[in-house]
């Protein structure tokens, strides 16, 4: 009974849930270490502390008992590089200019005034900055390494299979732990970013994490989510292979295009079992990182942030991977643990926030000279402040015409609704409270709600849009510019 179990699991959260004005806020003295964990492709609702019915996350569940847990954190895109850039700069994707992973192929991210990542802000404040990443879309060629003194990534130059293009989270954490023990300076504060890849396809968990097998709860969940085998069969061959064919990622050479996997109930059950095992692997890796921080006497005084760049469809809305902006793609976990008594913890925050708000919220609890320039550029806000007044979060779909068509699509989410808009085209409205699966479009019934969201989107998109330099922008960015202009917005507005 997944639904009943989820409700029971959420009871403690409901008891401690609060509005931000209930919080007693203080400032963390000195310069605390900041540890950021971003998990690629982790949807919030597959963690125990977010109500999942399987035991995927004992470490994170325990962490949530001493943290702020944000129930409604929304990612600005379900695409890895743009979302990480939004997290690091506090900017919406249209403000930092990267709206697809491919955008960095010809034009790697380069910091500039108004687009400084948190790594540079903290470095200017005297922090030692280090990153340990697991997957290719946040590797050095994208430019995301800017501002990091130490950048440790998976060497995929000789990769011959899909599996070889990334590395398991436990490998990444071992390297971070070794650095903490042997190289991290003891007399300087640290900003440590650890990026884990395990829930991202291909889902090939290690045997020790294969704890979940198809059960009645899973079948009920598939039904509840409206997963439709026939419609999934219409997806292109590469997506079916990446998600459903566990063998594909290890094959060399790659199979021919004519070998299209057949979608079955068994293959979907296997996908969920393997995905959940990879979530458990992530949980293990976070546990190992916390152990390493404790053994180097850094845990108690650290700010610890756990989040994800985006979710994963897993068959909902006739999609298996990510990139689209339905709820399962943009609802991400967010746990913030502050040292000392600067913030009363644990608490559940039930207002809608965005990943762009993470660092404005963290910096507001600290006293750093260099944070002023970050506040000046960031569209993100301190969500714990009484003055927090942005009631919605923006998401936009990747623009990647070669794979996903030329559709530009935005969504605004608030505590009640999600509204979708295609510039010059359709709009949809869903009641997330009564219809979390977004099946019943209510746009025609609530035109006044749509009008309000449309005005908000117009204001948001006209706020400091940034386009990659002329002549170097890739097709995806050029298309984004054209469609945005067709919607009535240019860089001068
Ligand atoms: Zn990602």
- Please tell me the distance between residue 310's alpha carbon and the centre of ligand 1 in angstroms: 6
Q: Which of 412, 450, 416 is nearest to 431 (CA)?
A: 416
User: Both tokens of residue 266?
Assistant: 């068994």
Separation CA 5–CA 53 (nearest Å)? 6
Instruction: Give the H/E segment covering residue 207.
Output: none
Phi and psi for 237 in degrees, rounded to 5?
-60, -40
Check residue 314 and report its DSSP letter: T
Summarised one tens digit per residue, pLDDT across range 23-77 is 567 788 889 999 999 999 999 999 999 999 999 999 999 999 999 999 999 999 9
| 144: its two tokens | 């995301």
Contact 80, 310 (CB under 8 A): yes
Cα of 81 from ligand 1 centre, angstroms: 7
**pLDDT score, position 404:** 38
Please, which residues bridge with residue 129 across strands?
191
The alpha carbon of 330 and the centre of ligand 1 are apart by a number of angstroms equal to 11
Percent of the chain residues topping a pLDDT of 70? 86
Beta bridge partners of 427: 421
Å from CA of 185 to ligand 1 middle? 30
Q: Band of the pLDDT at 369, cuts 50, 70, 90?
A: confident
Q: Which pLDDT band, with edges at 50, 70 and 90, does 478 fall under?
A: low
**CA 271 to CA 259: how far, in whole Å?**
19
Whole-angstrom CA distances from 484 to 147, 338, 380, 390 are 31, 39, 21, 22
Q: Say how many Å lie between the CA of residue 290 and the centre of ligand 1.
A: 23
**Ligand 1 centroid distance, CA of 79 (Å):** 5
More confident residue, 460 or 407: 460
**Alpha carbon distance 217, 220 (integer Å):** 5
Q: What mean pLDDT is predicted for residues 373-402?
A: 87
Whole-number Å distance, alpha carbon 24 to ligand 1 midpoint, is: 34
Ligand 1 center to 40 CA (angstroms)? 4
How far the first Cα of the chain sits from its last, in Å, is: 51
Query: What is the distance in A from the centroid of ligand 1 to the CA of 160?
Result: 21
pLDDT band with cut points at 50, 70 and 90 for residue 465: confident
Q: What is the pLDDT of residue 370?
A: 81
Report the alpha-carbon distance of residue 254 to residue 243 in Å, rounded: 15
Residue 19 dihedral angles phi and psi, to the nearest 5°: -85, 160
Looking at the chain, the number of H-run helices and the number of E-run strands are 17, 14
Pick the more confident residue, 213 or 285: 285
Q: Look at residue 12 and tell me whether its pLDDT is greater than 70.
A: no
Could you tell me which residues are beta bridge partners of residue 352? 72
pLDDT digits (tens, 9 = 90+) for 154-176: 987 777 777 888 899 999 999 99
Q: Does the pLDDT at position 256 exceed 70?
A: no
pLDDT digits (tens, 9 = 90+) for 333-368: 999 999 988 899 999 999 999 999 999 999 999 988
Expressed in angstroms and rounded, the spacing between residue 452 Cα and the centre of ligand 1 is 31
Å from CA of 30 to ligand 1 middle? 33
Per the structure block, which two tokens stand in for 160?
């011959």
The set of residues, in sequence order, having a beta carbon less than 8 Å from that of 478 and lying 6+ positions away, is: none
What value does the mean pLDDT take over residues 378-406? Answer: 80
Confidence of residue 6 (pLDDT cuts 50, 70, 90): very low
Q: Which of 104, 156, 95, 191 is nearest to 465 (CA)?
A: 95
Q: How many residues does the chain have?
A: 493
Q: Could you tell me what percentage of the chain is helix, strand and coil, using 3-state DSSP and rounding each to the nearest 5?
A: 40, 15, 45
Say what the pLDDT of residue 206 is: 93
Cα(313) to centroid of ligand 1, in Å?
A: 13
Q: Calculate how far, in angstroms, residue 395's C-alpha sits from the geometric centre of ligand 1.
A: 14
């Amino acid at each position: 009974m997944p639904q009943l179990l989820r409700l029971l699991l959420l009871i403690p959260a409901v008891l401690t849930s609060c509005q931000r004005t209930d919080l007693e806020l203080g400032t963390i003295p000195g310069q605390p270490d900041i540890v950021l964990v971003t998990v690629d492709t982790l949807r919030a609702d597959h963690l125990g502390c977010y109500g999942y019915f399987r035991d995927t996350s004992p470490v994170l569940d325990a962490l949530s008992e001493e943290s702020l847990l944000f129930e409604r954190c929304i990612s600005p895109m379900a695409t890895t590089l743009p979302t990480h850039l939004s997290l690091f700069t506090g900017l919406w994707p249209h403000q930092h200019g990267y709206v697809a992973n491919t955008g960095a192929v010809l034009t790697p991210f380069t910091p500039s005034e108004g687009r400084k990542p948190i790594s540079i802000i903290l470095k200017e404040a005297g922090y030692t900055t280090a990153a340990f990443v697991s997957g290719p879309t946040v590797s050095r060629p994208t430019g995301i390494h800017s501002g990091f003194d130490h950048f440790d990534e998976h060497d995929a130059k000789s990769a011959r299979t899909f599996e070889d293009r990334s590395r398991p989270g436990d490998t990444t954490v071992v390297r971070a732990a070794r650095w903490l023990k042997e190289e991290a300076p003891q007399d300087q504060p640290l900003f440590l970013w650890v990026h884990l890849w395990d829930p991202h396809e291909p889902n090939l968990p290690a045997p020790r994490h294969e704890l979940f097998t198809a059960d009645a709860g899973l079948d009920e969940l598939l039904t509840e989510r409206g997963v439709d085998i026939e419609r999934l069969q219409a997806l292109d061959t590469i997506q079916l292979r990446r998600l459903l064919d566990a063998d594909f990622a290890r094959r060399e050479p790659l199979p021919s295009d004519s070998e299209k996997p057949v979608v079955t109930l068994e293959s979907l059950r296997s996908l969920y079992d393997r995905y959940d095992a990879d979530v458990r692997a992530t949980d293990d890796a976070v546990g190992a990182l916390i152990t390493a921080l404790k053994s180097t006497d850094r845990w108690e005084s650290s700010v610890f942030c756990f989040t994800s760049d985006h979710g994963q469809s897993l068959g909902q809305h006739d999609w298996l991977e990510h990139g689209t902006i339905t709820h399962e793609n943009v609802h991400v976990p967010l746990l913030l643990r502050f040292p000392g008594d600067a913030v009363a913890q644990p608490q559940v925050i039930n207002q809608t926030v965005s990943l762009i708000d993470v660092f404005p919220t963290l910096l507001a609890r600290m006293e750093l000279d260099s944070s002023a320039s970050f506040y000046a550029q960031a569209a993100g806000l301190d969500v714990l402040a009484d003055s927090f007044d942005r009631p919605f979060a923006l998401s936009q779909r990747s623009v990647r015409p070669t794979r996903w068509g030329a559709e530009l699509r935005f969504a605004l989410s608030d505590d009640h609704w999600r509204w979708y808009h295609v510039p010059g085209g359709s709009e949809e409205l869903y009641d997330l409270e009564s219809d979390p699966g977004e099946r019943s479009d209510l746009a025609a019934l609530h035109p006044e709600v749509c009008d309000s969201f449309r005005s908000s989107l117009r204001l948001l998109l006209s706020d400091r849009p940034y386009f990659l330099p002329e002549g170097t922008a890739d097709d995806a960015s050029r298309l984004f510019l054209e469609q945005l202009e067709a919607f009535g917005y240019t860089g001068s507005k």
